[in-house]
Structure 1
Amino acid sequence: MTLNGDGVDSTGGWATQQVLNAFLDRFYPAAPAAPTVPIATAPITTGLDRYTGDYRSTRTSRSNLTKAAALMGSLHVTAADGRLTVTGPVTRDPEAEETHWEQIEPGLFQQVGGTARIAFPTGADGAVTALLTDADPTVAYQPLAWYQAPGLHRITALAGLAVLALTLLGWTVGALVRLVRRRGRAGQPAVRLLGAAVSTLLLAATACFALLTADPNELNQTLFLADSPLLTVVPVLVLAALALTAPMLVCTVLAWRRRWWGVPGRLHYTALTLASLLLLLLAGAYDLAGTSALDLLG
């Protein structure tokens, strides 16, 4: 049985599994007293920490912004109570966001209460080199360093965007209040304008990127046909923000040396600069800038 697409929310693969399950249940039903999935041997509950960490599919783009799919499609593995817990799409069931596994042989695990299996090949030095799943033999997951973890990237991006958005909101409200009260402009208006410009560019790039990747199937079509102006707009916005962040970094240093504003104001501008730099680092890592030369995370 085969399908000509992934289906809504990528449920196509699970549909074929459901047909197979229904066929077996109808023509080859299990005895009522038999366990659903007998474990071949007693679970091995030791040495599980070596398998924990984050894993990313090797079928991840290295040359365009579809690499951002790794933000949601990667796996996170933890160990507790003699079992592994995998968060992410490791089985064909799209609703199984978290699954539990028991080790039946060294490096081989069977799903608790299910039929799926995963395996962890190791190298000559004993280090884990991949995570494999029988749900899709065409996919392997490679272990990631801590700084490559998608979970860390998501938190960093949300925190950075919050700093930028709150800064724009605060400065806008402050400018309106000063205008109404006729108190003139805030100190170092050009420096603030620079920070506002970078914040606006990065927020706009994020919004355009969200529109572009809202539907994975449409994104694939867009990349093949190159029929969306957003494919050009996102890299331009990111590169423009990068160009303006360099002088912003200089202004941050000058703010402390020349004591612009008070200490809270300097701390805020420093946080704004740091948030912008981190967002640009992530934009380079996920190829939002349109060039892999800015990928410093791998």
Structure 2
Amino acid sequence: MPTTTKMKNNSSKQPGNRMFRMPATVKKKLVAGVILLAFLVTGTGASLFWVQEPASAAASQAVKSDAKPADLNDSAEVAAFVDKVMKSNMDLFEIPGAVISIVKDDKVLFSKGYGHSNIEKDAPIEPETSMFRIASTTKLFTWTAVMQLVEQGKLDLDTDINTYLKSMKIPDTYLKPITLRDLMTHTAGFEEGGMGYQITTDEKKLPGSISETLTEHMLARVRPPGEVVSYSNYGATLAGLIVEEVSGMPYNDYIQKNIFDALDMNYATVQEPIPASLDPYKVLGYASENKKFVNKPTTFEAGFRPAGSGTVSALDMSHFMIAHLNDGSYGNKQILKPETAKLMHSTAFQFDKRLPDMALGFFELNVNGQHVISHGGADTLFITELYLVPEEQIGIFVSYSGGNGDDAKAGMLQAFFDHYFPAPEVKLPASPSEVDVQKYAGSYKFTRRNFSHIDKFFSLLTEINVSVSDNQLSIGQGEEQMLYVPIEENLFQQVGGPNQMAFRTNESGEPTEMMLDFLPGLPLERTQLIDQSKFWLSLLGISFVLFISVLIGYAFRVRSVNKMEKPKKRAVWLLVVTAGWALITCVLTITEVMNMDTLERLSHISNSVKIFLIMPIIFVGLTIALLLCTFQVWKNKYWTVFKRVYYTLIVLGAVALSLFFYHWNLLGWQFG
């Protein structure tokens, strides 16, 4: 979750990352050191996490807040405080439109809109009626629907989902079947995917059949279910299909009848495009261009509707929050039984029992000592988050229509908790002296990544490198460095902060997986050398130096080459052509793939991408020809031994680049 070169890749604002878009400051801390920017992007701004103290801070120093909590029962004070934070964030993070709704004890405590729903028409945001796209927050409707059918006895959380699927079946890749519990905790074991098909801006492609979409773009099962979290839009969409096929109602209709109508949510829909009667109330999404807000096309989920098609007003979302906080009831309406609501909010899966992780469909957070369950969402324009604090009967819904919404929502949450629930004192216990800190050092990649298609390439540079500094684990560099000290077996505490890091180990005691408590649902696994960015970047760097030396050498010795015998001359020309083609291929092909913006990457495969992917194939052909030529070079003893060795090194560089294209699925057209 490292940068020196920034590329045009806004993939942190992609539907594929909805819940798990790391707040910008944290991303910067975690990815410092990677050569190029990929898949997740770095940013600046506020974060919901503790400000890191200098690396030299004593491990025993406490982290605490001396502030006295403000009174949440003082509605005037709440209004003034939240209003001030929201307005400040609107200006600071250049946000065109936002809305917030806060509930407590079965009532709306505060609700207000900011900015414009339509800048061109000077239409203000109205919390009652302005409808924001909430992307992956939609999953909470899907999970609620699943639990309604569970309590009716039509579904069981621990039964093979193929029992319920009628129009498609999930392959039996592993002996253990996938269950609804696995889907709701994102532990089904699917790989990530989405390039070219996850979203669309073309209404002609709507509505899309959920079943046909899931069948056409079926993702591989890469881990046994129930072992580790890997956030999955595909899994959530499967749950929506099950709701559809078991209830006998189309997904849209089921959600409308059993959730929206039941909770008097009159400005809410999962239909795409939204119904004509609600169209006047939709909030437009904006991007900043040349210091102006420019309206951009609406994105649609099509066949992935259960994972992110919701468009809802803030006041309607307050009804939904109240129902979940009030044991499933809103007014005289009951959408879940009390025991079902409690089950949904209870911990259902943990990477480590000492850290927050997953409830049924909700992600757990520990904010200033408070147990929070949440779910967020993001598409190319909108940023949304929903937080529930069941023990305090508090719910917060916030949504933004552009700008740096990630930083704004994180800043809003932390400001709220600092004001009303100041952080308790956190003291570091003495570090166990017997802990072998060095064994945890290494490279770790997120479990949520692709293995089978071209999407895999985007995980090349997305990793966290853990190093050891003064018997402490270190992430990041310089001012962005975060230090952790061991406090228990496989558990580390942040120096100067409240965050923790846990590891899983194998039977030999070697770390296999890692989790940071402020990234619920985003565990990482120890990376083998073949998947490490430093391995490939080193090989590519050496190869590029060799290729460039060939071109420079040829430029200086072109006359002497032309005087060579034809076989030797052909061998040199083939070497020059291969070296030149290698550099051109890398510059054009990789740049073309990396430079796709989020909308382009997830909505279609452009012809230019297809054309550029021909180049690696041609390069592999040249490499094979070069290998055959190398045998002739040695057999016929062209030139001196030194020159033959040099020639062979160039060939090995070409082989390394060919393997790079093959390993990262850039060889051919491997689309999902």
TM-score normalised according to structure 2 size: 0.37
- The 1:75/1:211 distance shift into structure 2, 3 A limit, reads same
1:109 Cα deviation (Å)?
1.5
SS at match of 1:129: strand
Match of 1:198 in 2: 578
Code of the residue aligned with 2:583 in structure 1: it is L
Equivalent residue number for residue 251 of structure 1: 629
> Cα 1:117–1:291, aligned 2, differ >3 Å: closer, same or farther?
farther
Cα pair 1:64 1:290 within 8 Å, conserved: no
- Equivalent in 495, 500, 504 of residue 121 of structure 1: 504
Query: In the alignment, which residue of structure 2 is the partner of 1:103?
Result: 486
Summarize the Cα distance change of 1:291–1:221 in structure 2 as closer, same or farther, 3 Å threshold.
closer
User: Which amino acid in 1 is paired with 2:523?
Assistant: A
Residues 167-208 of structure 1: CA deviation (Å, up to 9, x unaligned): 123213422xx29xxx84345111112222222332222112
Q: Which stretch has the larger CA shift, 136-145 or 278-287?
A: 136-145
Matched residue, 1:91 = none
Aligned to 1:155: 538
**Of 443, 452, 470, the match for 1:63:** 452
Tell me the distance in 1 between the aligned counterparts of 2:649 and 2:497. Answer: 47
Cα RMSD after superposing both structures: 3.0
Q: How far 1:265 moved relative to its partner?
A: 2.1
Is the Cα–Cα contact under 8 Å of residues 450 and 459 in structure 2 kept in the other structure? Answer: no
2:269 is the counterpart of 1:269:
no
Shift of 1:24: 3.4
Structure 1 residue matching 2:474: 3-state secondary structure = strand
After superposition, give the CA deviation of every residue in 1:194-227 in whole Å (9 maximum; x if it has no partner).
Answer: 22222233222211233224446x1563353112
**Structure richer in helix, relative to its length:** 1
For 1:92, the equivalent position in structure 2 comes to none
Instruction: Count residues in correspondence.
Output: 272
1:258-286 alpha-carbon deviations (Å, 9 max, x no partner): 22122332122111101111111111111
Classify 1:72/1:16 alpha carbon distance in 2 versus 1 (closer, same or farther; 3 Å).
farther
Question: Which position in structure 2 is the counterpart of 1:44?
Answer: 432
Q: 2:600 aligns with which of 207, 213, 221?
A: 221
* Post-superposition CA distance 1:244-264 (Å, at most 9, x none): 212311222322232212233
Q: Secondary structure at the match of 2:493?
A: strand
Matches within 5 A, 1:67-106: 67-87=456-476, 98-106=481-489
1:233: which partner in 2?
612
Q: Deviations over 1:129-157 (max 9, x none)?
A: 21112232222211122343211211111
More relative contact order in 1 or in 2 (CA 8 Å, sep 6+)? 2
Q: Deviations over 1:103-162 (max 9, x none)?
A: 222111122222322211223443322111223222221112234321121111122122
Letter in 1 for 2:624: A
Return the alpha-carbon distance in structure 1 between the equivalents of residues 445 and 598 of structure 2: 20
Q: What letter matches 2:521 in structure 1?
A: T
Contact 2:490 2:503 in 1 (8 A): yes
Aligned partner of 2:415 among 9, 19, 22: 22
| Aligned partners of 1:86 and 1:98 also within 8 Å | yes
Name the SS of the counterpart of 2:475 in structure 1. Answer: strand
Contact 2:485 2:493 in 1 (8 A): yes
What amino acid is aligned across from residue 231 of structure 1 in structure 2? Answer: K
Distance 1:248 1:223, change over 3 A: farther
CA distance in 2, matches of 1:5, 1:135: 22
- Contact map agreement 2:543 2:654 (CA 8 A) in 1: yes
**TM-score between both structures, scaled by the size of structure 1:** 0.78
Task: Supply the distance in 1 between the matched residues of 2:538 and 2:502 (Cα, whole angstroms).
Answer: 29
Farther off after superposition, 66-75 or 95-104: 95-104
- Residue 99 of structure 1, CA deviation: 2.1
Gaps of 5+ in 1: 89-94, 293-298
Letter in 2 for 1:19: M
Name the larger-Rg structure: 2
Partners of 1:255 and 1:11 lie apart in 2 by 58
Q: Which has the higher strand share?
A: 2
> 1:70 touches 1:150 (CA, 8 Å); kept in 2?
no
Give the Cα separation in 1 of the matches to 2:540 and 2:489: 37
Letter of the structure 2 residue corresponding to residue 151 of structure 1: K
Q: 2:629 is matched by which residue type in structure 1?
A: C
The change in CA–CA distance for 1:185 and 1:283 in structure 2 (over 3 A counts) is same
Q: Distance in 2 between matches of 1:62 and 1:158?
A: 24
Deviates further, 123-132 or 155-164? 123-132
Contact 1:57 1:74 in 2 (8 A): yes
Contact preservation (8 Å) 1:52, 1:79:
yes
2-structure distance, mates of 1:11, 1:107: 35
The residue type paired with residue 467 of structure 2 is T
Provide closer, same or farther for how the CA distance between residues 15 and 274 of structure 1 changes in structure 2, counting only shifts above 3 A. farther
Relative to structure 1, is the Cα distance of residues 127 and 259 closer, same or farther in structure 2, using a 3 angstrom cutoff?
Answer: same
Question: Cα gap change, 1:134/1:212 in structure 2, threshold over 3 Å: closer, same or farther?
Answer: farther
